[in-house]
Amino acid sequence: MRLIRTENYAEMSLEAGKIIVEKIRTNPSLTLGLATGSTPKGLYDYLIQDHEQNGTTYKQVKSVNLDEYIGLQTQNPNSYHYFMRQNLFNHLDISENHTHIPNGSARDLEQECLRYEQLIRELGGVDLQILGIGQNGHIGFNEPGTSFSSRTHIVTLAENTREANSRFFNSLEEVPTHAITMGIASILGSKEILLLVSGEKKAEALLKFMNGEISEDFPASALKHHENVTVIADRDALKYI
């Protein structure tokens, strides 16, 4: 595992952005694994700016998102479909039919999970997966206790995850209780993983990730089984390391 120490959120985003742009320039038809939340927003701003200024093209790039809430339509501003359009896709030349996000409004959700796994296989797997980490160690929406052999599946969100995410909603009640997420085994199938960690709120989780045991009680610890993981963290997140 490689650790890149950065000063702050802006530098973390810049370092991650440089790595991704380099990869796309080397392999213009890369399949990117994408994440939502506050962590990757600065990285997405960097990719947009680079696209505008340096012309990096996404015409052949494919993307696969980690997860989506169940029960929110794609037009709902809190859906991850909406987040990705607003924060990245609308500002790049990526083709809409190359962008993939689990459908949390599918009539048959079990079938949707199978479809998503099949899709990832058909794309030849994810080349580079971007990940954040939850305060409870979740990756994607894989909450503590998730099997390391899990594939795309339906999850009940942990209460602390709903509380953490309620900042985007009008109230805690509005936060969905379930989601579809790529599983731990699906994530570990990526050829390369970039884990971004920023801020003091994540310092304990990062400490546990770096120094703790490998256990299903702490989903991110599964990443230690992967041979190509780069952690990019800022000074506040590295407080205890």
Structure tokens that stand for 125 in this block: 């797997």
- For 233, other C-beta atoms within 10 Å of its C-beta total 26
Residue 166 engages ligand PGA in binding (rule: CB under 6 A)? no
| Identity of the residue numbered 98 | H
Give the C-alpha separation, 18 to 43, whole Å.
Answer: 9
Q: Which of the ranges 75-83, 133-141, 171-179, 211-219 carries the binding residues for ligand PGA, by CB under 6 A?
A: 133-141
Residue 176 engages ligand PGA in binding (rule: CB under 6 A)? no
Q: Which of the ranges 35-43, 80-88, 118-126, 206-214 carries the binding residues for ligand PGA, by CB under 6 A?
A: 35-43
How far from the centroid of its chain's Cα atoms is residue 86's Cα? 16
| Member of 6, 13, 39, 190 binding ligand PGA (CB under 6 A) | 39
| Identity of the residue numbered 115 | R
Give the C-alpha separation, 7 to 11, whole Å.
Answer: 6
For β-strands 128-131 and 153-156, DSSP reports them as: unpaired
Residue 12 engages ligand PGA in binding (rule: CB under 6 A)? no
Of the candidates 138, 142, 165, 234, the residue annotated as catalytic is 138
Give the C-alpha separation, 89 to 8, whole Å.
Answer: 25
Q: How far is the CB of 20 from ligand PGA (least distance, A)?
A: 17
**127 part of the active site:** no
**153 part of the active site:** no
Q: Which residues form the catalytic set?
A: 67, 136, 138, 143
Q: Rule CB under 6 A: which residues touch ligand PGA? A: 37-39, 132-134, 138
